[in-house]
Structure 1
Amino acid sequence: MSTQIDRLRELVQPLAAEHAMDLEEVKITTAGRRRVLQVVVDTDDGVGLDACAELSRQVSEALDARDVMGGAPYVLEVTSPGAERPLTEHRHYRRSIGRLLWLRPHQGADVVARLVGVDEEGIDVEVPGEKGRKPTPRRFAFAEIARARVELEFNRGAGRAAAPSGDESLKEA
């Protein structure tokens, strides 16, 4: 038997694909009598405010045409992932090349390092050196990584371009 989330994913996935977006997450939260349907999408180049608005319009029309949400009122939010969302898919790592990551390996201490490469087996990072020392290269197989996320950087240093923030809709607001 299909759950409500599964039915929502089946409804939203083709609409997101029409916009060359990856459907990252569909979730419903409740607060009292209010329900919020959150649809999280992403692309290699981030998701702009206009793209979120257009997809929101299409999802709203599709929801109105079907009774997937039932009769109770709800609020629809179409958004891009947050800047510090967990990295769980190969594409998440690929989209984060050049950014600073926090990694928790299954064994060993947490690591904060710059992501410099991704392939099918794992990632290559550079651990910043202390007091002017050169960064240390390290390799992590995906199977070695328990958790990972992008670390926010507010001052990356002169002459080096910072990677995109991850939530492009905030830039355009």
Structure 2
Amino acid sequence: MDILNEKIINEVALFFEKNIKNKRIELYDIVFRREKYGWVLRIFIDGDCVGLDECVLVSKLVSRWLDEVDIVPYENYRLEVSTPGANREIRTFDEFKKYIGKYCKIKMKGHDKYGRINYKGYIKGIQDDYVILYVEEENKNFEIEYDKIKKANLDVKF
């Protein structure tokens, strides 16, 4: 990522922290990049009851602020505000704690101590450096070493 794009992301994050973040709305991620049809500033928000109304509110506040400060040097760009969705990535050990009780899928960096690479199950808890995952089909808890996780996402079980 170039320095200008990083500066824009940092400025937007700072504005969000100072002017929008509250108990209901938190910043999940910001992406600013060139895509097929031009530049896109994508803001992902999260929270217990975040929906369309909160996305519209954040979009209006950020858009108004961007017009005032004029930190984006590109004449045409799109601002998009959304939630990370039902299959959001679990990016940190603390996020596993936040999502206890939720269904997820985990891909390991290689075979773990159980000889597995993939898991699907419910996050039961965290302990030391392990994620405790309950795999319903096997009626078994697995202790998964956090450092060996390549990727994890919340998932929807049908």
TM interval, short-chain normalised: 0.7 to 0.9
CA 1:33/1:104 → structure 2, altered by over 3 Å: closer, same or farther? closer
Relative CO higher for 1 or 2, CA cutoff 8 Å, sep ≥ 6?
A: 1
Q: What SS does the corresponding residue of 1:147 show, helix, strand or coil?
A: strand
Q: 2: CA distance between counterparts of 1:31 and 1:129? A: 41
The normalised TM-score by structure 2 is: 0.78
CA 1:128/1:32 → structure 2, altered by over 3 Å: closer, same or farther? closer
Q: Deviations over 1:101-150 (max 9, x none)?
A: 111122322111211113563311111235xxxx1011123112111112
Alpha carbon RMSD of aligned pairs, Å? 2.4
2:133 is matched with 125
CA 1:48/1:120 → structure 2, altered by over 3 Å: closer, same or farther? farther
Q: Which amino acid aligns with 2:95?
A: H
Asked if 1:90 is matched to 2:67, the reply is no
Alignment of 1:95-114 (within 5 A): 95-108=98-111, 109=116, 110-114=118-122
Displacement of 1:19 in angstroms is 2.7
Task: Decide which moves more: 10-19 or 78-87.
Answer: 10-19
1:58 is matched with 61
Contact 1:84 1:149 (C-alpha < 8 Å) held by counterparts: yes
Contact 1:113 1:125 (C-alpha < 8 Å) held by counterparts: yes
Q: 2: CA distance between counterparts of 1:138 and 1:66? A: 50
CA 1:7/1:74 → structure 2, altered by over 3 Å: closer, same or farther? closer
Asked if 1:70 is matched to 2:73, the reply is yes
1:157 is matched with none
1:40 is matched with 44
Asked if 1:19 is matched to 2:21, the reply is yes
Aligned length, in residue pairs: 149
CA 1:33/1:126 → structure 2, altered by over 3 Å: closer, same or farther? closer
Contact 1:122 1:139 (C-alpha < 8 Å) held by counterparts: yes
Contact 2:59 2:80 (C-alpha < 8 Å) held by counterparts: yes
Q: 2: CA distance between counterparts of 1:89 and 1:27? A: 18
Displacement of 1:40 in angstroms is 1.0
Asked if 1:150 is matched to 2:157, the reply is no
Identity percentage of aligned residues:
22
Q: 1:28 aligns with which of 23, 32, 48?
A: 32
Alignment of 1:130-141 (within 5 A): 130=138, 135-141=139-145
Query: Structure 1: 5+ residue runs without aligned partners?
Result: 155-173
The normalised TM-score by structure 1 is: 0.72
